[in-house]
Amino acid sequence: MSAAGLALGRRWSRLSPLVWIGGGSCLFWVFVALAAPWIAPYDPVAQDLAATLQPPNALHLLGTDNFGRDILSRIIWGTRLDLQMGVLGVVFPFVIGTTIGAASGYFGGIVDMLLMRLLDVTISFPFFVLIIAIVATLGPGLGSFYIALALVGWVSYARLIRSRFIVLKHADFVTAARSLGYSHWRIAFRHILPNAVMPAIVFSVSDAVIDIVLGSSLSYLGLGIQPPTPEWGLMIAEGQTFIATAWWMTTFPGLAIVLLAVGFSLLADGIAENLGLRD
């Protein structure tokens, strides 16, 4: 366990309130996602043409859409996808970025030069534009979104890890490990990485916010989740036709995105504050 991680554990009782609020909010959404079949009052895709475009009422707490589908049930089921986009979305960029950053920082020289030129090229593209272009090439869908994120999103992790590696590879414990004859692999991943990875982990929590917003934006544009699957961005797109008459169709799924994203943001802020990485 890293020094930073131990410090976090020791100061368990002195955790920032942001960690509790943010973490609690994230756990709430995890619960909603897991319990969807039991807590959703209606089938999220069942149409009820006798009850279309109903405003919020006692039977449909958040109203119904143009097919008479219950908005609350669709939001509850949609949590599964939007939460997944946030959590799974950071995994591939994290792994790829950490590996590239570690290799770049540890070996330096020609390896570093080549990998950093690759990074320069990647960040020359507007992030979201490159994501859209890759998804367009591979075809709309969640799989394409994850592949696009993996190809584009690794840069921030690589930068964070690389800068820590450049400092840490001259540390005494690395010299000690080297004099014991340990392999490069063992020194880089077993000795340096645990001490270098904390800022990247903190970043991954705020990165989840970006992935949730990006994923729902893609679905809104028609390039992500396809109808009739309940997903928040898609629900907002479906509701846009009815904004003059049925405000609830767009308002509530949007609020869900904001609440989920804010939970992750507060958690990231709180962890960063506790580790002294910010303010």
Partner 1 sequence: MHRFNFVLYRPIQLVPVLIGISLVTFLLIHAIPGDPARLLLGAKATPEAIAAIHARFGLDKPVAVQYLYFLVNLLRGELGLSIIYKAPVLQVVVGRILPTLFLLLYAVALAVSLSVVLGSAAAANRGRPLDQAIRLFSTVGLGLPAFWLGIVLIMLLSIDLGWFPVSGYGEDFPDRLHHLFLPAFTVAFAMAPVLTRNLRASLIAESTADYVSAARAKGLPRHVIFFHHIFRNSMIPTINLLGVNVGWLIGGTVVVEAVFSVPGLGGLLVSSIFARDYLVVQAVTLILALGVVATNFIVDIATVALDPRIQP
Q: Is 202 in the site for partner 1 (CB under 8 A)?
A: no
Whichever of 142 and 261 has its CB closer to partner 1, that residue is 261
Q: Rule CB under 8 A: is residue 55 a binding residue for partner 1?
A: no
Contacting residue, 99, 112, 247, 277, with partner 1 by CB under 8 A: 247
Q: 223 or 275, CB closer to partner 1?
A: 223
Q: How far is the CB of 114 from partner 1 (least distance, A)?
A: 10
Q: Does 262 bind partner 1 (CB under 8 A)?
A: yes
Residues 210-229 contacting partner 1, CB under 8 A:
212-213, 216-217, 220-223
Residues numbered 66-125 forming contacts with partner 1, rule: CB under 8 A: 117-118, 120-121, 123-125
**Binding residue for partner 1, selected from 236, 271, 272, 275, defined by CB under 8 A:** 236
For the residues of the chain, what is the DSSP string, one character each?
--HHHHHHHHTGGG--HHHHHHHHHHHHHHHHHHHHHHH-SS-TT---TTSTTPPS-SSSTT-B-TT--BHHHHHHHHHHHHHHHHHHHHHHHHHHHHHHHHHHHHH-HHHHHHHHHHHHHHHHS-HHHHHHHHHHHH-SSHHHHHHHHHHHHHHHHHHHHHHHHHHHTTSHHHHHHHHTT--HHHIIIIIIHHHH-HHHHHHHHHHHHHHHHHHHHHHHHTSSSPTTS--HHHHHHHHHTTTTT-THHHHHHHHHHHHHHHHHHHHHHHHHHHTTS--
Considering the complex, what minimum distance in angstroms separates the CB of residue 171 from partner 1? 28
Footprint (CB under 8 A) of partner 1, residues 137-166: 137-139
- Residues engaged in binding partner 1 (CB under 8 A): 117-118, 120-121, 123-130, 132-134, 136-139, 206, 209, 212-213, 216-217, 220-223, 233, 236, 239-240, 243-244, 247, 250-251, 253-254, 257-258, 260-262, 264-266, 269, 279
